[in-house]
Amino acid sequence: MANYEVKGTSRTGKNVKIYIESDSAKSARSEARKKGVIPISVQSTDAKAINEEKNLSAQVSGAFKKVSLDELSEFTRQLSSLVRAHVPIVDCFNALIDQSDSSKMRPMIMAIRQNIKEGKTLGDSFAQFPAVFDRIYVNMVRAGEASGRLDVVLQRLADFGENQVRLRNKVTGAMTYPIIMIIVGVLAMVGIFTFVIPKITQIFREMKTAMPWITMVMIKISDFLRNYWFFLMVGVLLVVILVSRFLATAAGRAFKDRLFLKLPVFGDLVTILCVSRFARTLGTLLQSGVPMITALQVTKNVVNNTYFEKATEEAEENVREGRSLAYSLKNSKIFPPICIHMVNVGEKTGELENMLNNLADNYDQQVDSKLGKLITILEPLMIIGLVGMVALIVVAVLLPIFEMQNMGTD
Q: In CATH, what number is assigned to the domain containing residue 81?
A: 1.20.81.30
Same domain, 124 and 211: no
DSSP 148: T
Residue 193 banded pLDDT, cuts 50, 70, 90: confident
In a domain, 50, yes or no: no
In a domain, 113, yes or no: yes
Query: Tell me: the pLDDT tens digits for 19-60?
Result: 787 777 777 777 877 887 777 777 776 544 444 444 444 444
| pLDDT above 50 (res 87) | yes
Same domain, 266 and 223: yes
Same domain, 100 and 35: no
| pLDDT above 90 (res 237) | yes
Of residues 210 and 342, the one with the higher pLDDT is 342
Same domain, 90 and 8: no
Same domain, 31 and 65: no
Mean pLDDT within 251-270: 86
Same domain, 225 and 274: yes
Domain boundary among 75, 110, 133: 133
Q: Can you give the pLDDT at residue 209?
A: 65
| pLDDT above 60 (res 167) | yes
DSSP 40: E
How many domains does the chain fold into?
Answer: 3
Mean pLDDT within 203-227: 78
Same domain, 88 and 15: no
In a domain, 122, yes or no: yes
In a domain, 398, yes or no: yes
Residue 200 structural domain: 177-410
Of residues 331 and 408, the one with the higher pLDDT is 331
Domain boundary among 133, 168, 191: 133
CB 82 within 8 A of CB 90: no
Domain boundary among 110, 133, 156: 133
Helix (H, G, I), strand (E, B) or coil at 37: strand
- Average pLDDT across the chain, whole number: 81
Q: Can you give the pLDDT at residue 50?
A: 44
Mean pLDDT within 85-89: 88
CA atoms within 13 A of residue 87's CA, in its CB half-sphere = 16
Q: Name the nearest CA neighbour of 303 among 363, 348, 249.
A: 363
Same domain, 107 and 35: no
| pLDDT above 70 (res 175) | yes
Same domain, 93 and 202: no
Percent of the chain scored above 70 by pLDDT?
89
Q: Can you give the pLDDT at residue 54?
A: 43
How many whole angstroms separate alpha carbon 198 and alpha carbon 192? 9
Lowest mean pLDDT among 6-10, 159-163, 319-323: 6-10
In a domain, 320, yes or no: yes
In a domain, 120, yes or no: yes
In a domain, 72, yes or no: yes
Q: How deeply is 374 buried, as exposed, middle or buried, from its count of CB atoms within 10 A (0-12, 13-18, 19+)?
A: middle
Same domain, 122 and 194: no
| pLDDT above 50 (res 118) | yes
Of residues 352 and 140, the one with the higher pLDDT is 352
The CA distances from residue 253 to 240, 276, 316, 324, in Å, are 15, 20, 22, 29
Of residues 406 and 374, the one with the higher pLDDT is 374
Same domain, 185 and 92: no
Same domain, 16 and 117: no
In a domain, 163, yes or no: no
